[in-house]
A = this chain, B = another copy of it.
Amino acid sequence: MKRSDAKEKVGAASHRGGTAMTMADLAALAGVSKITVSRALRDSSLVREEVRARIKELAEAHGYRLNAAARSLRTRRAHSVTAVLEMDPASGRPYSDPLILTVIGGLLQTFAMQRYRLVLTTRAEIVSATSVVDADGLILFGQGANDEAFQQMRRFNLPLVVWGSARAAFDDVAFVGSDNREGGRLLGAHLAGLGRRRILFLGDRAHEEVADRLAGLTGAVRKSAAKVTTRICQFSREAARAVIAEELDRGWDYDAVAACSDPVALGALDVLESAGMRTPTDVAVTGFDDAIHDPRLTTVRQDWDLAGRTLAGKMLNLLAGEEATSALLPVELVVRASTKA
């Protein structure tokens, strides 16, 4: 009675107040007990087909919605998976910018189908002592292999899937990543095939993914007697500009630049072009990721949608109690103007 009073107001008051309908209300309407409603909505065969249909109809008609918190509390399952993104502390924006959306699209697609909610959070947020984690599993996106992040996530004792290079000795964690070594190999073979012999690699080997790309590249050009010089460079376009400017000052002596990512490659192009060098005649430039779809840039494409679906699939496996298995996703060379006129 008091409750139905409150409900009268819901319509007008909209989201300002008003108590939503519960299973008990629905049970009263249907003339059955709460538990029968619960069973009916879950399609339990314990409830007569006819009763089930009537309850569902009532639920639909009254816009009844299950209370997620109550169910989670009782069943001890959150019915959700949390994706942990590394945010650039400076800008507060996700590192690998446009790429991850595609991955998230893949995740969303898979999880929505399985009725799992997808929660996004940042590493800074989730590791803070007072953060409240509401998830059955975690998916970690790091920029390369960030061991600290990885260890932090392990402490939650939740099923864990990591985007990045596989690491040994963690057989309860699923690692998913592109085949960076193969990507490096493709680029190396391409540059060697173009006759380039003095290659400048831009990137920081501290990131396992970068180290893999470099290793692949180095291996591929070995037989052509090309020389690969490495300069440490972070992932930003600006960082690349600075490094290239320095190299030009020192006296440029390269016929190719292999960058660890597309933005880095663009930064290199910026400075080289404004210094009057011609691409690809004087210097060939390659990127990695095909994040930017720049028609100038030869790069290695990763399949981000597949990445998302693979990550989600691995997580569902873990949630189903299966063993953790890792996956190495295929990559593809995309040749554009910066290496071939």
Partner-B contacts on A (CB < 8 A): 3, 10, 13-16, 18, 20, 41, 56, 59-60, 63, 65-73, 78-80, 85, 87, 91-94, 97-98, 100-102, 104-106, 108-109, 112, 115, 117-122, 124-125, 129-134, 137, 155-159, 171-172, 292-296, 305, 318, 321
Contact = CB atoms under 8 A, between A and B. Distances in A.
Nearest to A109: B92
Nearest to A292: B293
Chain copies in complex: 2
A59 B128 CA distance: 13
A87 B73 contact: no
B132 A79 contact: yes
A100 B93 CA distance: 12
Given A10-B157, A59-B129, A102-B97, A78 B87 contact: no
Contacts of A101: 94, 97-98, 100-101, 104
Contacts of A69: 68-73, 78, 134
A125 B98 contact: no
A102 B99 CA distance: 10
Contact of A63 (B105, B109, B125, B155): B155
Nearest to A101: B101
A267 B263 CA distance: 24
A108 B120 contact: yes
Nearest to A117: B119
Most chain B beta-carbon contacts within 10 A, residue among A41, A79, A125, A159: A125
A224 B115 CA distance: 55
